[in-house]
Amino acid sequence: MFSVNNFYDYLTHQYGWPNKNNKNFVYIFNQHGDRNLWNLVALCDSNLLEQRTNSLSINQFYSRIYLLDQEPLNFELFEINHITISDDRKKWFDEELYEIYSQNLPKRRQFTTMLSTFNASIVCHSELNSAEVKLLEQHGFICCYYFYHGLISRDWFRHWKHYILENNTNTTAQRFGIYARDASGTRSYRLDVLDSLLPVCNRVYFKIQPTLQKQITNQQVLISWNSAEVEYDSDASATINLQDCDQFQIQIVLETLFDTDKIYLTEKIFKPMVMKQPFILFAGPGSLKYLKRYGFKTFDSLWNEDYDDIADSKTRYQKIIELVYTLNGLSSDDFNELINKAKQITEHNHRHFYSEEFEKQLLDELHQNMSAALEEQNTRALTFDGSVWFDQIDFLYQKTGMVLPRTKRSMSNILKYLTHTEPTIAEKIIEKYGHLF
């Protein structure tokens, strides 16, 4: 099983220079959750990076593999910020570039300009049906999908494989359970869920976290559920309280994204599987079908899961709330019978989550998609009809009427390098981008 850090080391070994690929450096953010593009760092020895790129003064020539898989892609949340730049990155910061990016470029262009290289770079992500992915591809990036949280969750929940979870025999267990620490940003819909479930809150196991308490405006919500005694960390969705397995029967999963067309699932969806609980899922449309694609089972044989097919988030939301109310309205006998029938599915999901088959499927998908991305990268290099980096410079030029001196030096050095190594490509650069020099 992979942890976050050794998984990235593994990817560097497989796909990054100098191990098996002399064209790509693998880049991640300095700290998990960072959104400052200046804090993207190469996963290799810094001396090696400088020797390979700066000695030839062609830093932008070599391609990169960006691992942007932990959070959904959202250009508005990425930033070029000189204030929050880490100390070890300050020598790379360029005030002049910061000014021109921040003053003349929208957020998506700041992102594509900052991350572009001469040859197409690869952006690794974990979302499907994504407008941001399509836009990156339109700008010349090569996008590589894989299910990051599927791989990492197996490590986060690895200890639970060895627990023997008995059938829930707690006669006072609630019918439903919710985990929600925060309702900021894309998670704001969680406040609506709490409002909608107020009439049945006596059947919902939920404790209000201090962070969430500050965000709740409905006073009735505040007095209807107990408050948590301690503040959970931001990684609380990757931890499990053993006692909770006996506190409720069905887990209502509130994913990071709901009001979206994207399919983007995190460790939150694997929590009920590890706890051997059935679940109802607040997420983007098609998310249940997405789980089935990886061999998991959902509960459409027991209750209506048509909400998964509804694109409109308001209608999908209402359909899920109606399902909760329908299940809440069942008699005790009918509800218990439903839970008993669900056990075969929950056992399968628990077993499959820890199976070698699931891990192999995830890794095979990663390697197939990465191989295809690298092949496309090589094909583009050989059949050169443009450069991602030069295209972004050209856009800036059309916008501002200028090319920065530092950028001109890099362009000239790349052209000089290609004149000796790939003269045909050098000629094509002059033909297409000669006005920039």
For 91-136, what is each residue's pLDDT tens digit? 667 777 777 777 778 889 889 988 999 999 999 999 999 999 999 9
Tokens linked to 97:
């570039």
Using CA of residue 309, residue 280, residue 292, residue 304, what is the dihedral sign?
negative
| Same domain for 163 and 308 | yes
Specify the pLDDT at position 235: 59
In the three-class reduction of DSSP (H, G, I as helix; E, B as strand; rest coil), residue 313 is classed as helix
Percentages helix, strand, coil for the chain, rounded to the nearest 5? 55, 10, 35
Least confident of 32-36, 54-58, 289-293, 353-357: 54-58
| Same domain for 318 and 291 | yes
Q: Are 40 and 26 in contact (CB under 8 A)?
A: no
Least confident of 30-39, 268-277, 313-322, 410-419: 30-39
| Same domain for 324 and 396 | no
Average pLDDT over residues 77-102: 75
pLDDT of 55 strictly over 60? no
Q: How far apart are CA 163 and CA 156, in angstroms?
A: 14
Specify the pLDDT at position 116: 93
Q: Which ranges of 275-331 would DSSP assign to H, the alpha helix?
A: 287-293, 313-328
Specify the pLDDT at position 54: 57
| Same domain for 142 and 18 | yes
Specify the pLDDT at position 231: 60
Specify the pLDDT at position 236: 58
Q: What type of residue sits at position 69?
A: D
Specify the pLDDT at position 302: 98
Highest mean pLDDT among 5-19, 66-80, 227-241: 66-80
pLDDT digits (tens, 9 = 90+) for 356-398: 999 999 999 999 999 999 999 999 998 998 999 999 999 989 9
On average, the pLDDT of the chain sits at 89
How sure is the predictor about 399, in pLDDT bands with cuts at 50, 70 and 90? confident
Angle (CA) 155 160 161, round 5° = 85
Specify the pLDDT at position 57: 62
Give the count of domains, the chain: 2
Specify the pLDDT at position 203: 95
Specify the pLDDT at position 294: 98
b/e map of 97-127 (b: 16 or more CB within 10 Å)? bbebbeeebebebbbbbbbbbbbbbbbbbbb
Which residue is listed with tokens 């590589």?
144
Specify the pLDDT at position 434: 95
pLDDT digits (tens, 9 = 90+) for 236-266: 566 788 788 889 999 999 999 999 999 999 9
Specify the pLDDT at position 21: 66
Asked which of 354, 374, 393 is the last residue of a domain, the reply is 354
Asked which of 322, 338, 354 is the last residue of a domain, the reply is 354
Q: What is the DSSP letter of 263?
A: B
Q: What is the DSSP letter of 79?
A: B
pLDDT digits (tens, 9 = 90+) for 336-359: 999 999 999 999 999 999 999 999
285, β-bridge pairs: none
pLDDT of 19 strictly over 90? no
| Same domain for 136 and 58 | yes
CATH number at residue 219: 3.40.50
pLDDT of 152 strictly over 90? yes
| Same domain for 284 and 174 | yes
H helix or E strand, kind and range, residue 65: strand 63-67
How sure is the predictor about 169, in pLDDT bands with cuts at 50, 70 and 90? low
Burial class (CB in 10 A: 0-12, 13-18, 19+), 44: middle
H helix or E strand, kind and range, residue 382: helix 356-382
Three-state helix/strand/coil letters over 189-221: HHHHHHHHCHHHHHHEECEECHHHHCCCCCHHH
Least confident of 56-65, 163-172, 187-196: 163-172
Residues 6+ apart with CB under 8 A from 255: 264, 265, 266, 268, 269, 281, 282, 283, 284, 287
Angle (CA) 139 55 43, round 5° = 60
pLDDT digits (tens, 9 = 90+) for 258-309: 999 999 999 999 999 999 999 999 999 999 999 999 999 999 999 999 999 9
Q: How is the beta sheet containing 40-42 ordered, strand by strand?
A: 40-42, 24-29, 63-67, 122-125, 142-145
Q: Which residue has the higher pLDDT, 39 or 54?
A: 39
| Same domain for 248 and 321 | yes
Asked which of 308, 335, 354 is the last residue of a domain, the reply is 354
| Same domain for 391 and 279 | no
DSSP codes of every residue in 98-137? HHHHHHH--HHHHHHHHH--SSPPEEEE--BS-HHHHHHH
Of the candidates 25, 164, 120, the one whose C-alpha atom is nearest the C-alpha of residue 378 is 120
Q: How far apart are CA 73 and CA 264, in angstroms?
A: 10
Specify the pLDDT at position 411: 92
Q: Which domain holds residue 45?
A: 4-150+362-436
Q: How far apart are CA 148 and CA 91, in angstroms?
A: 31
| Same domain for 193 and 109 | no
pLDDT of 65 strictly over 90? yes
Q: Are 112 and 139 in contact (CB under 8 A)?
A: yes
| Same domain for 382 and 323 | no
| Same domain for 204 and 84 | no
280, β-bridge pairs: 252
| Same domain for 273 and 180 | yes
Burial class (CB in 10 A: 0-12, 13-18, 19+), 236: middle
Q: What is the pTM of this model?
A: 0.92
Tokens linked to 405:
């001196």
